[in-house]
A = this chain, B = another copy of it.
Amino acid sequence: MGIRKNDILQGTLVLLILKSLATNPRLHGYAITSHVQRVSENLLRVEEGSLYPALHRMEQEGWVRADWGKTEKNRDARFYSLTAAGRKQLAHEQESWARLTEGVARVIRYA
């Protein structure tokens, strides 16, 4: 119930992925996980069982594009990049996120 520790709130995951790809074009899934974890300084952790389904959904939606390639460790990996639609979506999600957090902040601040 409520906010569970180590739970990424519904909706947040997509935002994090889009933003990661806006910052680093062409990341593979595994790299997205570590990027989010590193940049958030361990506050956030993306589970693989959440990540890959999300990436597939986002590809369906046309927000990301995928192609196979080699990592610098010489492994096969699917690299994702943002599409124009993805960039637009990122803007929307960022705005929604700002509105939500501002709303919650007001309720919390209100003495």
Q: Known contacts being A10-B9, A100-B9, A100-B12, is A106 close to B4, with CB within 8 Å?
A: no
Nearest to A20 among chain B residues (CB) is B107
The range of chain A's interface size is 35 or more
Which residues between 64 and 111 of chain A lie within 8 Å of chain B, taking CB atoms?
89, 92-94, 96-97, 99-104, 106-108, 110-111
User: Does B11 lie within 8 Å of A11, measured CB to CB?
Assistant: no
Q: Is the interface of A mostly helix, strand, loop or mixed?
A: helix
Which residues between 13 and 51 of chain A lie within 8 Å of chain B, taking CB atoms?
14-16, 19-20, 23, 36, 39-41, 43-44
Rounded to whole angstroms, the CA-CA distance of A89 and B97 in the bound complex is 24
Nearest to A102 among chain B residues (CB) is B43
